[in-house]
Structure 1
Amino acid sequence: MTDIIKAVKKDIEDEHAAIIQYLYHAYASPDEELRGKLESIARDEMRHFKWLSEWLVKSGHKPTLKRSEVISRGDLKSLIEADVKAEEEAIRQYIYHKTLTDDDELLTLFDRIIADEKSHWEEFFKILDELNAIPPGAEPLENQKPEESTSELTESQAAILQQALEHEYTSILQYLYHHFTINSGEELEDFAIDEMKHMGWFAETLAEKGFQPELIHSAMESEAGPEQSVKSDLAREIDAIEKYSSAKDKFEDEEIRDLLDLAINHEKYHAESLKKMIEKYEKLSGKRFTIGSLRKETEK
Structure 2
Amino acid sequence: DAIEPYREQIDLVGDPKVKRLLKRILSDEESHRGTFENLAEKVGREGMTDVRGTRDDRTVRVLNWGVEHEYTVILQYLFHAYMATDAEVREQLMDQAVNEMQHLGWLAEKIIDLSSSPRIEHTDVDQSREMVQMLDADIRIENRVAQAYDDATRELGDSRVVELLSRIRDQETYHAEVFQELLDELKKGRD
Contact 2:83 2:129 (C-alpha < 8 Å) held by counterparts: no
- Trace 1:1-40 onto structure 2 (pairs within 5 A): 1-40=56-95
Match of 2:118 in 1: 63
Match of 2:150 in 1: 95
Tell me by how many angstroms 1:33 deviates: 2.4
Residue 131 of structure 2 corresponds to residue 131 of structure 1: no
Which of these two proteins has the greater Rg computed from alpha carbons? 1
Greater relative contact order: 1 or 2 (C-alpha under 8 angstroms, separation 6 or more)? 2
What amino acid does structure 1 have at the position aligned with 2:131? Answer: L
Tell me by how many angstroms 1:3 deviates: 1.7
Contact 1:77 1:131 (C-alpha < 8 Å) held by counterparts: yes
- Trace 1:1-300 onto structure 2 (pairs within 5 A): 1-134=56-189
Identity of aligned residues (%): 28
Deviations 1:44-94 (A, max 9, x none): 100000000000011111111111211013311111100000111011100
CA distance in 1, matches of 2:148, 2:123: 14
Tell me by how many angstroms 1:104 deviates: 1.5
* Structure 2: runs of 5+ lacking an equivalent: 1-55
SS at match of 1:99: helix
Which sits farther off after the overlay, 94-103 or 13-22? 94-103
Query: If each structure's helix is expressed as a fraction of its own residues, which one has the higher value?
Result: 2
TM-score between the two structures when normalised by the length of structure 2: 0.68
Tell me by how many angstroms 1:18 deviates: 0.8
CA distance in 1, matches of 2:86, 2:153: 37
Deviations 1:211-238 (A, max 9, x none): xxxxxxxxxxxxxxxxxxxxxxxxxxxx
Deviations 1:232-290 (A, max 9, x none): xxxxxxxxxxxxxxxxxxxxxxxxxxxxxxxxxxxxxxxxxxxxxxxxxxxxxxxxxxx
What amino acid does structure 2 have at the position aligned with 1:103? Answer: D
SS at match of 1:96: helix
Give the alignment's Cα RMSD to 1 decimal: 1.5
TM-score between the two structures when normalised by the length of structure 1: 0.44
Contact 1:23 1:38 (C-alpha < 8 Å) held by counterparts: yes
Tell me by how many angstroms 1:100 deviates: 2.6
CA distance in 1, matches of 2:62, 2:118: 13
Deviations 1:138-172 (A, max 9, x none): 9xxxxxxxxxxxxxxxxxxxxxxxxxxxxxxxxxx
